[in-house]
Amino acid sequence: MDRQIRRLGIVLMGLFVLLFLQLNNLQVLQADKLANAPGNTRNATRDFSRPRGIIQTADGVVLARSVDVDTAFKRQRQYPEAELFGHVTGYFSFTYGSDGVERTYNNLLAGRDINVRDFSDVLADRVTTNDVTLTITKRVQQVARDALQGRKGAVVALDPTNGAVLAFWSFPSYNPQPLSGHDQKAVQSAWNALEDDANQPMLPRTYRRSYAPGSTFKVVTAAAALEQAPDLATKSYPTLRTLDLPQTNRDLPNFGGSSCGGALPALLKVSCNTGFAQMGMDLGTDRLTDEAEQFGFNAAPPIDLPAPARSAFPAKNSQPGLAQAAIGQQDVTATPLEMALVAAAVGNGGSIMKPYVTAEVRNHEGRVVQSAEPGEWKRAMSPENAAALRDMMIQVVNGGTATRAAIPGIQVAAKTGTAQTTGENSHAWIIAFAPAEAPKVAVAVIVESQPGLGDTVTGGRIAAPIARAVLQAALGAP
């Protein structure tokens, strides 16, 4: 009898061990896999039903909030500012998941990331959420929207000293509200309409769309000469109307058929294609690529938003390809965010700070549980060469191609760009920072090409007034 009881005990013990191991396997080792398995809507249902923190601007305007409703989901996400911040807040959808700040800070908004100081909340029978405060103000965002005047394009403004984004507007935009509804047929209809729109309203052009940067890239070429070939920075390039591209039967002209030449400051002031194209060939692929990568090309910027696009500078180029790349054409592409970081690097003594849109996260008691920690992303150039390049960009505003970016009483430094697209159409660019001697704001503006306008679309004519308006708003200037 005792022997049978011992056998039964051993069997029960074995079963208990197996059960213990399987529970640990399911609850620990495979927890994430099972939770994220296709078809498992439990998390989505739970998240959609639970309270969720607010997202607000730096000046206290609520951009996203959850309200109680009498439906199966119990709560409804609302976006009071609609399109104005759609690309920043993103959406929170039962069917399509989330994007933007809603996605990056999902766990904090839903209260799943609990700080150790809030351990009592783990034991309490309540759901605690966290509120996200952005670095962007509604006031500057509105100015960026109004200045773009409904044209396709993007505006980025940031603080070059710490990387805080101050405005992040691109048009067309979209209202996240219909995607967060409870009627899933209506949600799908709204999604399909946005997806089918040829203007791509859900695409944040600020950080996920790359363009040919045109002549704004000459700032990078100029930095390459200053940093890696000082003899080229002082070299006087011949005054030309066109440059004979080697290995081809083509010429590269200056804008509008003008003639230009001279040393680097003179070339930058009038945005001389022939001089910069020759400088690019003199620098060579390795040095120009190295400098471009010091500015952040060929890498995605570490912004706290999902899926930022890489800006690209091809590592292999023929001589005529180098000539085109040095003036921001050929296969060179850049996002507006990347070009804002280029301007910020010059203004900030050669240092590029990590960009971010969230200043802080506070818990339900108002205590800060997470705050931005500014840090350097890239070292693009020395402080001495950054100061020299800054002085050249000042002359671009004071008597060059960016006079329309000038602000009375505040010195602005800038570089314009006109990037060829198809036919006679061009993108209009500008990058700028101010006050030039101690910058508080750096901006990048692109207005996409508009058919039929031909060479009337230039960075100095179209983009510079937008940059001026945003700089004034961010600086609080009249």
Secondary structure in 3-state letters for the chain: CHHHHHHHHHHHHHHHHHHHHHHHHHHHHCHHHHHCCCCCCHHHHHHHHCCCCCEECCCCCEEEEEEECCCCCCEEEECCCHHHHHHHHCCEECCCEECHHHHHCHHHHHCCCCCHHHHHHHHCCCCCCEEEEECCCHHHHHHHHHHHCCCCEEEEEECCCCCEEEEEEEECCCCCHHHHCCCHHHHHHHHHHHHHCCCCCCCCHHHHCCECCHHHHHHHHHHHHHHHCHHHHHCCEEEECEEECCCCCCEEECHHHCCEEECHHHHHHHCCHHHHHHHHHHHHHHHHHHHHHHCCCCCCCCCCCCCCCCCECCCCCCHHHHHHHHCCCCCCEECHHHHHHHHHHHHCCCEEECCECEEEEEECCCCEEEECCCCEEEECCCHHHHHHHHHHHHHHHHHCCCHHHCECCECCEEEEEEEECCCCCEEEEEEEEECCCCCCEEEEEEECCCCCCHHHCCHHHHHHHHHHHHHHHHHCCC
Mean pLDDT, contiguous 10-residue spans, the chain (478 residues): 72 76 66 55 73 96 94 90 98 94 95 60 66 98 97 97 98 97 94 97 98 97 97 96 93 92 97 97 96 98 98 89 94 97 98 98 93 98 98 98 97 93 80 98 93 68 96 93
Length of the chain: 478
Distances (CA, A) of 435 to 132, 217, 314, 348, 441: 30, 21, 33, 11, 8
**Which residues have C-beta within 8 Å of that of residue 26, sequence separation ≥ 6?**
34
259 part of the active site = no
The confidence score (pLDDT) of residue 38 equals 45
Q: What pLDDT score does 36 carry?
A: 52
Burial of 66 (0-12, 13-18, 19+ CB in 10 A): buried
Provide the pLDDT for residue 11. Answer: 77
Residue 310: how many other CB atoms lie within 10 Å: 15
**What pLDDT does 35 receive?**
58
Q: Which of 66, 173, 180, 215 is catalytic?
A: 215
Q: Kindly tell me the sign of the dihedral angle through the C-alpha atoms of 266, 272, 277, 280.
A: positive
| Residues 6 or more apart in contact with residue 79 via CB below 8 angstroms | 63, 64, 85, 86, 89, 175, 176, 177, 180
The answer to whether residues 49 and 74 touch, using CB atoms and an 8 Å cutoff, is yes
pLDDT of residue 17: 76
Q: What is the pTM of this model?
A: 0.89
Compute the distance between CA of residue 90 and CA of residue 175 in angstroms, rounded to an integer: 9
Could you identify the residue written with the tokens 């773009």? Answer: 148
Backbone torsion region of residue 172, taken as left when φ is above 0, otherwise alpha when ψ lies between -120 and 50, otherwise beta: beta
Tell me the C-alpha distance between 472 and 406, whole Å: 10
Structure tokens at 172: 């067309």
Radius of gyration of the chain (CA): 27
